[in-house]
Structure 1
Amino acid sequence: MNRQLFLLAALGATAALANDTPVFQKNGKPFFVIGVYDYPDYDADSYPNYGTTPTYHPGIAREKDAFALSELASAGINTVRTRMQHLGLNDLTRAEGYGVYYVPFAYNYEPEPYGPGKIDWSHFTEFHVIGSPLDQKIAEIRHADSLLFYEHQDEAAWSREACILPGVNDPRPLDPDGCVIHTQGLLLWPSYEAALSYKDFVRARDPHHLMWANEAVIPENHPRNVGLARKWRLIADMWSQDTYPVYNHNWNTNANTNYPQEPGIPFPLIDQNAIGGALDRMKATYDADGVAPFVPAAPMFFVLEAQGFNECCWDWNGMPGRGRRPEYEELRFQAYSAIIHGSRGIWWWGTDAIGSSSLLWDHIKRLASQLRDLEPALVANAIAAGPGTWSVSAAFSAQVEGTLREVNGRRYLIVANKTNQPLQGVSFQVSNWNKAHAPGGPRVLFESRTGAYTASVPSPGASWTDDFGPWGVHVYTDAPDRRPPSDLDADGKSDPAVYTQSSTANVPSHFTVLRSAVDRKVGFDLGDLTDDLPLSGDFDGDGHTDFAVYTKKVLLPNATTWGGWYAWHSSRDNKDYWDTLGEVGDVPVVGDYDGDGRTDFGVYRAPTSCQTQDDLFIYRASHNGAVTTFSLGAECDDLPVSGDFDGDGHTDFAVFKKRVDLGGGTSWGGWYTWFSSSTLQKYWTDPQGPVGALPVVADYDGDRVADMGTYKTGTCGAPSTFKYVRSTDGQFITASLGECDDEPVVGDFDGDGTDDLALYKRKVLLGNNTPWGGWFTIRPSQQPTQTLYYNLGEVGDVPASPAHFR
């Protein structure tokens, strides 16, 4: 058994040991693979009414176009396979802008023989030489940051050597051992020696990227299979296996007799526990010396099902039947069970055979977004159950499984029901749980609810009881529910984000976010007009920031208007939403006006003239879709702002009047607000800030009440100035930060529950064509003498969460 740190001579990718389970690393940082084998090859499918129309369209590399990359990235899918011979530098550069990584493969998967248009670089050793097409391709792609690792031949040991016993009435020929002859496997899969040659050549030509191989779960029902996977482990640096409970149940029940048809065996009857068992066996298979206690010598992933039985291949493998697809609850159990048993990455196979508009694809994206949010916990050490850590009530200990992880003092308990029956009254006890951060009960992530503590366990311990549906999974945490601005991954820290405005009509604009939870960029397209305004808020109420654009309304020649809101919902279904709220001349003012925990679309309509006070705030309530209008009595030179100034959980209507010098030592300006809690209107003369200052609304003292502030850009060479009043004690605070070309942004970038003073400097090209700018400057609220910098953005980019619109 090898308990030493697993290190390879790789700058781009290594693996580090974490609680006896190695973790894949990219650029020296832990990386949890959330991957699909393909982007769906077509837009719609005929499931469940298949008919006779072929639905499989192989060879369409949609995973390389911008539309697919944006969808993958926004859903949390960070990795996708692609054919190596068609992967170029332009593809890799494009993927880098979305934070999606490619894993190239170099083998045939469809059962056509080797020939023109096919690729068998892993099969034929004549390619394993310097100067070959394989060598040239490696030289082309090996320095790209979006190259994650290489894939070896899929299921090599299974397809080449495993003894597969025949099924009932199986017509296939048998060898002298009574095993099915691998006619297709011998044709398409490399020999063991050729497989070793491929791995050794690729790793020699690119020592900075690892080799991954996926293997089928080889049955242990024949002496020939004993040790087979262990022998073939040497063809790769890290491994996965695949087993498909729903797919395989149809296969095992119906193979070679009655092929399954929809609906197949219904949910929840099919046993889903094969995945956990396979991972437990993988630990022994991939242990360094094969001696217990078993510790895998390198990262292990798991490949899950993403299609119904035989959808991939019904039109060529002689099996006309197709079975039902896995339900969401089955998919979710499979992924979390794999994680509980030690998987450091999740792949979904079969996504090429489903439609991008299918319910199954939506389920996969929904689940991928959960794994994205949990990534820091998924690469952390697992804390074993037992005295002094955590436990489940004895009555249910054989029916549930779980894992406890801790990240930066926050705990995450993942628990799954291993049965097809509902469970009621399952009790948990955790010895170290931060009730101060989660005072009412454990937060149940992805379910928009909070549990209730029982009184039997004193702090720092905690206990609670919960119910589970068949194959149900709950994820509990004691992490505080802070929801700062621009927090894409819901880790309680604002994420620096910029918006690349489109310079050409019908070419998408683009958000780029530096995820604080993993220190990794992700990007996605949204909006396509040159004057779209970027916005952010939690529009679906899941605790994650959603990004949006507001397209200013314009009057068309036919007297109709065009414009509105285009918002992306982060975790609910990872889809974009359109709303037409607003008219020509309106400006966006988002906030939670109805107090339901979701950001509402809102606009401000200025007075029609400086002689009237007929302004309007207009918002659409997210809880029922009703449109509400409110006039504050503002004047023509007022600027709309939004914030919860009375702390009642509702955004209040407010405007800011820029300070102007009236002469004689007097000035005019201030704030005018309407408190939703008391219907009280109030005028505030402070903090006005200096003449020309702009409003900045943030929670600078952490009491969840918006503080009024201003920012005044200094002359070039002189410092700029923040001024704000704390709602907790009314004290005025003044701080110098920034330069003449900086602009304020709002966020809690250090995650302490208090907004920080923050600026963004747009990137420009100087006279000598040298770039300057493109970074965030942060003054942490609890460390006012420290300044943090985050580099992000290119020429023309603007902050995605601006404090105001110029």
Structure 2
Amino acid sequence: MHGYQVGLFITLFQVLLVTLVSSTVLGGTMIMHNGKPFFPIGIYHYPKGLPLEPRLEELSRAGFNTVLSGLTSSIEFMDKAHEFGIGVLPTLGWNMILDPGGEETKKAYLREHIERLKDHPALLGYEAPDEIAWVDFESLKKPGQNLEALLKGYEFIKSIDPVNPIWMNHAPRNNVEYLKSYSEAGDILGTDIYPVPDGNRHSDLDQSLNCVGQYTEKLDRVGEGRPIYMVLQGFSWDDLPPIGSRDSPQPNWIETRFMAYDAVLHGANGIIYWGMAYTEIGDAIWEHLKRIASELRDITPVILDSTRMPMELDSGLEIHHWQHRGYKYLFVLNTQRSSKKDASVKLPEDWSGEVASVLFEGRSLDVTGGNLVDSFQGLDVHIYTDDPRPDISIGVGNPVLLEKDEKAQLRVDLMNSGRSPTPPFNLTLTTDGKIVSQARIAGLDGTSTRSVDIEWTPMI
């Protein structure tokens, strides 16, 4: 009889593997996958418009879980996206507008590709024609021109695929009642808003970055409870053709982070970034987007499962108090471009302990008399919590000795004691420094356990 020492090593990759199923359904104002809420963190394009398929793993590692693609996307592309935990939103374009001139041709096209994709586990739904309400209103100068054909297209698509939702994205223009009429062709709504630099007249509301949250709330009035995917800025206005001069600034890190949380805290159920096709790979904005995708991934459990108190305003600070699994999360936004030094923030009365951890900043603050004191750069966002758990903490329980046999089955008990979901990781079995077995483990939800079996044939 021989004993074998078992060594288990875990290698973590920064990727959240989401288990997708063949249908996407709406649950209240949330998107549900496999009976669980899902928060899309998406991107339209890779920098320079490079193909997405060879870069899906990179996107997944960064924290993205959603991409836009054409309705003609191959099953191979869908399979690969699913492999990396990425959902796909195919774009319908003007094929959804069933006008008399091309109705039958469009119907045949839609039927062919929707039938082909509708049961694929990577499918998240479909994107309606982009900004169609604004196109009719402004570009064609004929408000409502395509409305009837659009609604007809919606009904036709639902006759083929009644389960997966259609996402309708609007420009940051038009009044609520006008948008409501077009939104009848969407199960999920969205608005694209690109306010950097301040005052660029891109929208009808506030010309500062605060308009992101305002448009999210406006869209809630339009959709009356439907989920909202906000489309945020991943470019500079001068990056776009025909200018291409790259003179105006891309959003910096603080602006990128502020816009994301401004959207989420005012009701966004997903964030998707547009404009990367017009940027360069080395541009700082790409690193900013990957960084915010990682943050959103890690804070997703709180976004999807929290009790939210009414927002408070205090001297230019916007304070959002959420509770998640008994712990408090205080999102504090400086809504002004001027900095605030030594600002006092009042904590909830039931705050636990005398310390506040500041998420994603690697620091903590003392709590005195129910308050903390912190400084804010312009448009800064700080997230305070009394949750003592680490973001991610993996424990592995396993026997340390195995008897020689023709085949051994090693059961490994995994536990994530942290608040955030883990990325997928490799579980490696070694003896005497040699790898004898490996397993790829899907990510664990926060505060969850899982057991996995690894086969191994011990050798003398």
TM-score under structure 1 normalisation? 0.47
Is contact 1:271–1:420 with CA below 8 Å preserved after alignment? Answer: no
Is contact 2:306–2:325 with CA below 8 Å preserved after alignment? Answer: no
Q: Where does residue 430 of structure 1 map in the other structure?
A: 348
Q: Where does residue 245 of structure 1 map in the other structure?
A: 195
Q: Which of 141, 154, 161 lines up with 2:137 in the alignment? A: 161
Q: Where does residue 370 of structure 1 map in the other structure?
A: 295
Matching of residue 15 in structure 1 with residue 22 in structure 2: no
Q: Which amino acid in structure 2 is aligned with residue 448 of structure 1?
A: G
Report % sequence identity: 24
Larger Rg: 1
1:594-637 deviations in Å (ceiling 9; x for gaps):
xxxxxxxxxxxxxxxxxxxxxxxxxxxxxxxxxxxxxxxxxxxx
| CA displacement at 1:320 relative to structure 2 | 7.3
Provide the rounded CA distance (Å) in 1 between the counterparts of 2:69 and 2:305. 29
Q: Which of 367, 373, 382 lines up with 1:474 in the alignment? A: 382
Q: Where does residue 240 of structure 2 map in the other structure?
A: 312
Matching of residue 271 in structure 1 with residue 208 in structure 2: yes
Residues 343-422 of structure 1: matches in 2 within 5 Å? 343-385=268-310, 397-422=314-339
Is contact 1:405–1:413 with CA below 8 Å preserved after alignment? Answer: yes
| Cα separation, partners in 2 of 1:282 and 1:131, compared to 1, 3 Å | closer
Q: Where does residue 554 of structure 1 map in the other structure?
A: none
Q: Secondary structure at the match of 1:451?
A: strand
Q: Where does residue 156 of structure 2 map in the other structure?
A: 201
| CA displacement at 1:402 relative to structure 2 | 3.0
Provide the rounded CA distance (Å) in 2 between the counterparts of 1:327 and 1:419. 15
| CA displacement at 1:382 relative to structure 2 | 4.3
CA RMSD of aligned residues (A): 3.5
| Cα separation, partners in 2 of 1:29 and 1:141, compared to 1, 3 Å | same
Residues 512-523 of structure 1: matches in 2 within 5 Å? none
Provide the rounded CA distance (Å) in 2 between the counterparts of 1:402 and 1:364. 24
Q: Where does residue 363 of structure 2 map in the other structure?
A: 449
1:93-143 deviations in Å (ceiling 9; x for gaps):
111111111100022xxxxxxxxxxxx422344456897122111111111
Q: Where does residue 235 of structure 1 map in the other structure?
A: 185
Is contact 2:393–2:418 with CA below 8 Å preserved after alignment? Answer: yes
Q: Secondary structure at the match of 1:303?
A: strand
| CA displacement at 1:82 relative to structure 2 | 0.7
| CA displacement at 1:78 relative to structure 2 | 0.7
Residues 184-195 of structure 1: matches in 2 within 5 Å? 191-195=146-150
Provide the rounded CA distance (Å) in 2 between the counterparts of 1:308 and 1:249. 14
| Cα separation, partners in 2 of 1:16 and 1:128, compared to 1, 3 Å | farther
Q: Which of 81, 84, 97 lines up with 1:123 in the alignment? A: 97
1:368-426 deviations in Å (ceiling 9; x for gaps):
1000000011112342148xxxx6xxxx6151223233332333221110111111323
Q: Which of 17, 33, 44 lines up with 1:37 in the alignment? A: 44
| Cα separation, partners in 2 of 1:353 and 1:452, compared to 1, 3 Å | same
1:159-191 deviations in Å (ceiling 9; x for gaps):
1125xxxxxxxxxxxxxxxxxxx24x87xx981
| Cα separation, partners in 2 of 1:140 and 1:227, compared to 1, 3 Å | same
Q: Which amino acid in structure 1 is aligned with residue 382 of structure 2?
A: H
Provide the rounded CA distance (Å) in 2 between the counterparts of 1:131 and 1:215. 24
Residues 50-199 of structure 1: matches in 2 within 5 Å? 62-65=51-54, 68-85=55-72, 87-107=73-93, 120-125=94-99, 126=102, 132-162=108-138, 182-183=139-140, 191-199=146-154
| Cα separation, partners in 2 of 1:230 and 1:743, compared to 1, 3 Å | closer
Provide the rounded CA distance (Å) in 2 between the counterparts of 1:74 and 1:761. 20
Q: How many matched pairs? A: 411
Provide the rounded CA distance (Å) in 2 between the counterparts of 1:132 and 1:328. 45
Provide the rounded CA distance (Å) in 1 between the counterparts of 2:238 and 2:135. 17
1:687-711 deviations in Å (ceiling 9; x for gaps):
xxxxxxxxxxx7x8xxxxxxxx961
1:211-268 deviations in Å (ceiling 9; x for gaps):
001101224xxxxx46111111101001011221115733569xxxxxxxxxxxxxxx
| Cα separation, partners in 2 of 1:13 and 1:226, compared to 1, 3 Å | closer
Q: Secondary structure at the match of 1:465?
A: strand
| Cα separation, partners in 2 of 1:445 and 1:204, compared to 1, 3 Å | same
Provide the rounded CA distance (Å) in 1 between the counterparts of 2:440 and 2:135. 52
Matching of residue 714 in structure 1 with residue 403 in structure 2: yes
Q: Secondary structure at the match of 2:164?
A: coil
| CA displacement at 1:480 relative to structure 2 | 2.0
Provide the rounded CA distance (Å) in 2 between the counterparts of 1:245 and 1:370. 22
| CA displacement at 1:329 relative to structure 2 | 0.9
Is contact 1:73–1:98 with CA below 8 Å preserved after alignment? Answer: yes
Is contact 1:38–1:351 with CA below 8 Å preserved after alignment? Answer: yes
Is contact 1:128–1:135 with CA below 8 Å preserved after alignment? Answer: no
Residues 690-769 of structure 1: matches in 2 within 5 Å? 711-714=400-403, 740-742=408-410, 748-749=415-416
Provide the rounded CA distance (Å) in 2 between the counterparts of 1:88 and 1:252. 35
Q: Where does residue 735 of structure 1 map in the other structure?
A: none
| Cα separation, partners in 2 of 1:278 and 1:750, compared to 1, 3 Å | closer
Q: Which amino acid in structure 2 is aligned with residue 227 of structure 1?
A: E
Higher RCO (C-alpha under 8 Å, 6+ residues apart): 2
The structure where helix makes up a greater share of residues is: 2
Residues 394-793 of structure 1: matches in 2 within 5 Å? 397-424=314-341, 425-435=343-353, 441-454=355-368, 456-457=369-370, 463-482=371-390, 490-493=391-394, 711-714=400-403, 740-742=408-410, 748-749=415-416, 788-790=450-452
| CA displacement at 1:346 relative to structure 2 | 0.9
| CA displacement at 1:63 relative to structure 2 | 1.3
Unaligned runs of 5+ in 2: 1-20, 420-425, 430-437, 442-448
Q: Where does residue 435 of structure 2 map in the other structure?
A: none
Q: Secondary structure at the match of 1:249?
A: coil
Q: Where does residue 24 of structure 1 map in the other structure?
A: 31
| Cα separation, partners in 2 of 1:312 and 1:760, compared to 1, 3 Å | closer
| Cα separation, partners in 2 of 1:307 and 1:789, compared to 1, 3 Å | same
| CA displacement at 1:81 relative to structure 2 | 0.4
| CA displacement at 1:313 relative to structure 2 | 2.4
| Cα separation, partners in 2 of 1:252 and 1:414, compared to 1, 3 Å | closer
| Cα separation, partners in 2 of 1:406 and 1:491, compared to 1, 3 Å | farther
Provide the rounded CA distance (Å) in 2 between the counterparts of 1:760 and 1:324. 44
Provide the rounded CA distance (Å) in 2 between the counterparts of 1:88 and 1:234. 29
Q: Where does residue 267 of structure 2 map in the other structure?
A: 342
Provide the rounded CA distance (Å) in 2 between the counterparts of 1:408 and 1:32. 18
Provide the rounded CA distance (Å) in 2 between the counterparts of 1:130 and 1:69. 30
Is contact 1:340–1:402 with CA below 8 Å preserved after alignment? Answer: no
1:493-515 deviations in Å (ceiling 9; x for gaps):
55xxxxxxxxxxxxxxxxxxxxx
1:289-343 deviations in Å (ceiling 9; x for gaps):
xxxxxxx2x111211111111423226xxx9785221111111111111111111
Provide the rounded CA distance (Å) in 2 between the counterparts of 1:344 and 1:199. 22
Q: Which amino acid in structure 2 is aligned with residue 273 of structure 1?
A: N
